[in-house]
């Protein structure tokens, strides 16, 4: 389970996050919502080790992640996706998944020597490769991209790329998954399809914690067990989705910024 | 309609044509599916067979020497593909690591009475160490700035070769290294030198081909194209960079040892800035992450320079022109040509199948 305690982060004197507390239990789906610029992505960057907080602690299953670099955080079993896609465009869909399964090949080590047996194609290395390829095939199947396994990523549509990023994130069955606006940039139809896929994934694995970052409230209300609302770096509401969606403070935050996100989104 | 959905429409509109193009080049570009195509494998076998029997039909010492240099150039470039091509570090010091390997073998064999075979691991280790030390610069600088650091490194080590009289014999270098044999066969002289260099080329290309088609090759490409994404997937970016620099260095080191065994003379100018720079250019011209492209580019350019003296006289200027062309055809001249040929073949075949 993920515990975020008292995280504060400032950029040039501006507080991007101000004493943020958050927990995601095992098997729990927590929605982190808030308008653009409210600090959602900064929080993801802090949790996943890309940014060091000024104050506060992040723990995964009791182990503090503060001071760990992103690869170390990943090895602890926490996976994040990026709001703007980070796929390796010149590689094939399958290769991107296999890159995401790096830890299968290295037995979860940062400094890896397994390139030597892999190069010599030893039985052990072949077995690891087979395991990785099976995991990759399963993940592709789950997001419906099996037919495109050998396509170059640069040939995929934006929606397909979003699915691929999702597949890469779940391929190794992380114990904590952070999805940073998985539907950003998708049209409403595609966005709903992707959320349905995420809901299916949640059904399929009841152990994994999921922190879902989104700024469109209507997409996450049904899926999440709990919602946390950020505004200007501060937590302004938390609770049952229905209750949070009716909270006057949340409505103020959203209605007040409604015009603003439409501009940013388009 | 939002601009993002417009982008989506655009990519589906040109989907079919580009999809076909992408599939057809899979074998050339993608390490994960890196089984060579049947034609590629056949071409490789034929080329090797020709290379192995060529000296039986070619009597000209000059021609054999040109071919030997061609293999050496291709072997050097193939080793550099790991760091410059796959990991994307603008490494302009490959010739320096080659020099470290050559000097190590020369010093150990000529001055300390070591056997050639025993000197090879030391040469590879020292050249790998050079690569790793240079690779550490990637902690502080990246991109073009890394290229500048590697240029400085090349110049600094060149000065060491020239001035460390006690060990490197200064500007004279080594003029009379005792003849080196392996399994009772002398490695120097025209035809033995030819075969020794050819075997070196096969070993290095084999090593790089085997390594780049593993998860480590994919990790290197991930580090090159998106270090942030690589980190988020648990890949140790610094280690991966140092690994590629170290292995490139080791491969240059063994090439240096072989140079010593085949020519028995070395001097600092074999390892100057221009030599280092040329090897990097072959990789860039060959298409950065393309082993066949690089080997062809290095081979063809070295061969042409050897055959036609006037090309060698204007080499710096001519290479400048080739680089300009390569920069405009970003993927690399030779790789683009290979892709183009493969796409045309496939389209022709598909048309034939439909008819």
The reply to whether B237 touches chain A by the CB within 8 Å rule is yes
Distance CA(B309)–CA(B303), nearest Å, equals 11
The reply to whether B179 touches chain A by the CB within 8 Å rule is no
User: With the C-alpha atoms ordered A11, A15, A20, A24, is the resulting torsion angle positive or negative?
Assistant: negative
pLDDT band at residue A123 using 50, 70 and 90 as cut-offs: very high
User: Which pLDDT score, from 0 to 100, does residue B35 have?
Assistant: 54
The reply to whether B65 touches chain A by the CB within 8 Å rule is no
- C-alpha Rg value of chain B to the nearest Å: 22
Distance CA(B73)–CA(B298), nearest Å, equals 6
Burial (0-12, 13-18, 19+ Cβ within 10 Å), A246: exposed
- How distant, in Å, are the alpha carbons of A18, B200, B201, B305 from that of B183? 72, 16, 19, 33
User: Which pLDDT score, from 0 to 100, does residue B351 have?
Assistant: 72
A69-83, A202-216, B277-291: least confident range: B277-291
b/e per residue, B231-252, with b = 16+ CB within 10 A?
bbbbbbbbbbbbbbbbbbbbbb
User: Which pLDDT score, from 0 to 100, does residue B234 have?
Assistant: 93
User: Looking at chain B, how many residues does it have?
Assistant: 355
- Average pLDDT over every residue of A89-113: 91
Please give the CATH topology (third level) of the domain spanning B60-354: ABC transporter involved in vitamin B12 uptake, BtuC (1.10.3470)
pLDDT band at residue A80 using 50, 70 and 90 as cut-offs: very high
How many Cβ atoms from other residues are within 10 Å of residue A184's Cβ? 18
User: Which pLDDT score, from 0 to 100, does residue B42 have?
Assistant: 81
- Smallest Cα–Cα separation from A56: which of A20, A14, A11, A13? A20
Distance CA(B141)–CA(B147), nearest Å, equals 9
Distance CA(B266)–CA(B76), nearest Å, equals 17
Q: What separation, in Å, do the N-terminal and C-terminal C-alpha atoms of chain A show?
A: 36
User: Which pLDDT score, from 0 to 100, does residue B37 have?
Assistant: 65
Q: Which of A50, A92, A103 sits opposite B30 (nearest CB)?
A: A92
The reply to whether A183 touches chain B by the CB within 8 Å rule is no
Q: Are strands A29-33 and A209-214 parallel, antiparallel or unpaired?
A: parallel
User: pLDDT digits over A173-182, tens only?
Assistant: 899 999 999 9
- Average pLDDT over every residue of A114-122: 93
What are the sequence ranges of the domains in chain A? 1-77+174-266, 87-169
Distance CA(B270)–CA(B260), nearest Å, equals 11
pLDDT band at residue A34 using 50, 70 and 90 as cut-offs: confident
Show residues of chain A in contact with B219, CB under 8 Å: 99, 102
Q: Which residues pair with A230 in a beta bridge?
A: A235
Distance CA(B295)–CA(B276), nearest Å, equals 16
Work out how many CB contacts closer than 8 A connect A with B. 150
The answer to whether A61 touches A99, Cβ cutoff 8 Å, is: no
User: Which pLDDT score, from 0 to 100, does residue B331 have?
Assistant: 54
User: Which residue has tokens 């943020």?
Assistant: A20
Distance CA(B81)–CA(B78), nearest Å, equals 5
- Average pLDDT over every residue of A33-53: 91
Mean pLDDT by 10-residue block, N- to C-terminus, for chain B (355 residues)? 32 39 36 57 85 86 89 93 91 94 94 92 97 92 86 94 90 87 83 92 94 93 92 94 97 96 91 87 80 86 83 73 64 62 70 68
Distance CA(A39)–CA(A9), nearest Å, equals 9
Helix (H) / strand (E) element for B164: namely none
- Average pLDDT over every residue of A23-35: 90
Q: Which residues pair with A231 in a beta bridge?
A: A234
How many separate helices (H) and strands (E) can be counted in chain A?
A: 11, 10
The answer to whether A20 touches A230, Cβ cutoff 8 Å, is: yes
pLDDT band at residue A188 using 50, 70 and 90 as cut-offs: confident
State the complex-level ipTM.
0.89
User: Which residue has tokens 């095939």?
Assistant: A137
Q: Which of A88, A158, A159 sits opposite B221 (nearest CB)?
A: A88
User: Which pLDDT score, from 0 to 100, does residue B2 have?
Assistant: 32
The answer to whether A192 touches A219, Cβ cutoff 8 Å, is: yes
User: pLDDT digits over A156-167, tens only?
Assistant: 999 999 999 999
Strand runs labelled E in A93-200: 176-180
Q: Which residues pair with A59 in a beta bridge?
A: A3, A64
Residue with more model confidence, A69 or B189: A69
Q: Which long-range contacts (CB under 8 A, 24 or more apart) does A169-172 make?
A: A169/A79, A169/A80, A169/A81, A169/A100, A170/A79, A170/A139, A170/A142, A170/A201, A171/A97, A171/A100, A171/A101, A171/A135, A171/A136, A171/A138, A171/A139, A172/A79, A172/A100, A172/A101, A172/A103, A172/A104, A172/A135
The token pair that represents A151 in the structure block: 């396509």
User: Which pLDDT score, from 0 to 100, does residue B318 have?
Assistant: 72
User: Which pLDDT score, from 0 to 100, does residue B11 have?
Assistant: 35
pLDDT band at residue A257 using 50, 70 and 90 as cut-offs: low
User: Which residue has tokens 């994404």?
Assistant: B229
User: Which residue has tokens 């020794």?
Assistant: B196
CB contact under 8 A, B214 and A74: no
Q: With a CB-CB cutoff of 8 Å, which residues 100-139 of chain A face chain B?
A: 100-103, 105-106, 108, 110-112, 114-115, 118-121, 125, 129, 132
Helix/strand/coil (H/E/C) assignment for every residue in A5-39: EEEEEEECCEEEEEEEEEEECCCCEEEEECCCCCC
Distance CA(A264)–CA(B270), nearest Å, equals 58
- Smallest Cα–Cα separation from B236: which of B207, B216, B209, B210? B216
Q: Are strands A226-231 and B181-182 parallel, antiparallel or unpaired?
A: unpaired
Show residues of chain B in contact with A98, CB under 8 Å: 32, 215, 218
Chain B residue with minimum CA distance to A86: B229
Please give the CATH topology (third level) of the domain spanning A1-77+174-266: Rossmann fold (3.40.50)
The token pair that represents A236 in the structure block: 């302004």
Q: Which residues pair with A10 in a beta bridge?
A: A15
């Amino acid at each position: 389970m993920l515990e975020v305690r008292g995280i504060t982060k400032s950029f040039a004197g501006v507080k991007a996050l101000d004493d943020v507390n958050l927990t995601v239990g095992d098997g729990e789906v927590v929605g982190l919502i808030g308008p653009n610029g409210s600090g959602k992505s900064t929080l993801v960057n802090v949790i996943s080790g890309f940014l060091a907080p000024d104050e506060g602690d992040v723990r995964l299953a009791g182990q503090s992640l503060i001071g760990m670099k992103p690869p170390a955080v990943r090895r602890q079993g926490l996976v994040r996706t990026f709001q703007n896609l980070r796929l390796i465009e010149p590689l094939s869909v399958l290769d991107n998944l296999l890159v995401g399964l790096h830890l299968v090949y290295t037995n979860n080590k940062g400094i890896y020597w397994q390139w030597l047996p892999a190069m010599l194609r030893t039985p052990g290395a072949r077995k690891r490769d087979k395991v990785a390829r099976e995991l990759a095939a399963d993940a592709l199947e789950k997001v419906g991209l099996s037919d495109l396994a050998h396509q170059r990523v640069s040939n995929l549509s934006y929606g397909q790329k979003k699915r691929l990023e999702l597949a890469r994130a779940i391929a190794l069955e992380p114990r904590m998954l952070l999805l940073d606006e998985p539907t950003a940039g998708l049209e409403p139809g595609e966005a709903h399809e992707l959320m349905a896929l995420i809901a299916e994934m949640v059904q399929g694995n009841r152990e994994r914690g999921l922190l879902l970052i989104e700024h469109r409230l209507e997409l996450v209300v049904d899926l999440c067990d709990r919602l946390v609302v950020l505004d200007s770096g501060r937590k302004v509401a938390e609770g049952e989705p229905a209750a949070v969606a009716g909270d006057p403070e949340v409505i103020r935050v959203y209605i007040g910024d409604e015009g603003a996100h439409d501009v940013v989104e388009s | 309609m939002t601009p993002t959905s417009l982008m989506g429409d655009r990519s589906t509109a040109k989907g079919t044509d580009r999809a076909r193009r992408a599939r057809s080049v899979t074998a050339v570009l993608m390490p994960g599916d890196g089984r060579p195509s049947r034609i590629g494998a056949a071409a490789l076998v034929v080329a090797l067979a020709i290379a192995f029997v060529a000296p039986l039909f070619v009597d000209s010492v000059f021609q054999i020497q040109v071919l030997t240099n061609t293999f050496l150039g291709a072997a050097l470039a193939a080793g550099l593909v790991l760091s410059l091509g796959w990991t994307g570090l603008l490494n302009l010091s490959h010739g320096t690591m080659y020099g470290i390997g050559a000097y190590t073998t020369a010093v150990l064999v000529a001055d300390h009475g070591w056997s050639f075979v025993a000197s090879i691991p030391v040469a590879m280790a020292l050249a790998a160490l050079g690569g790793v030390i240079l690779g550490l610069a990637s902690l502080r600088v990246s991109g073009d700035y890394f290229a500048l650091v590697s240029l400085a490194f090349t110049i600094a080590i060149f000065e060491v070769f020239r001035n460390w009289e006690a060990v490197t014999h200064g500007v004279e270098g080594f003029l009379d290294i005792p003849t080196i044999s392996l399994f009772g066969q002398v490695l120097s002289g025209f035809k033995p030198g030819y075969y020794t260099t050819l075997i070196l080329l096969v070993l290095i290309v084999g090593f790089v081909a085997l390594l780049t088609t593993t998860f480590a090759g994919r990790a290197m490409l991930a580090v090159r194209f998106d270090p942030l994404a690589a980190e988020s997937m648990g890949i140790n970016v610094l280690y991966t960079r140092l690994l590629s620099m170290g292995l490139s260095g080791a491969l240059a080191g063994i090439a240096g040892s072989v140079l010593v065994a085949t020519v028995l003379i070395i001097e600092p100018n074999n390892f100057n800035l221009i030599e280092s720079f040329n090897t990097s250019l072959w990789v860039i011209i060959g298409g950065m992450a393309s082993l066949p492209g690089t080997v062809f580019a290095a081979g063809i350019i070295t061969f042409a320079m050897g055959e036609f003296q006037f090309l060698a006289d204007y080499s710096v200027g001519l290479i400048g022109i080739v680089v300009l062309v390569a920069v405009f055809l970003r993927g690399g001249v030779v790789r683009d040509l290979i892709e183009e040929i493969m796409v045309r073949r496939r389209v022709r075949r598909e048309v034939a199948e439909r008819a």
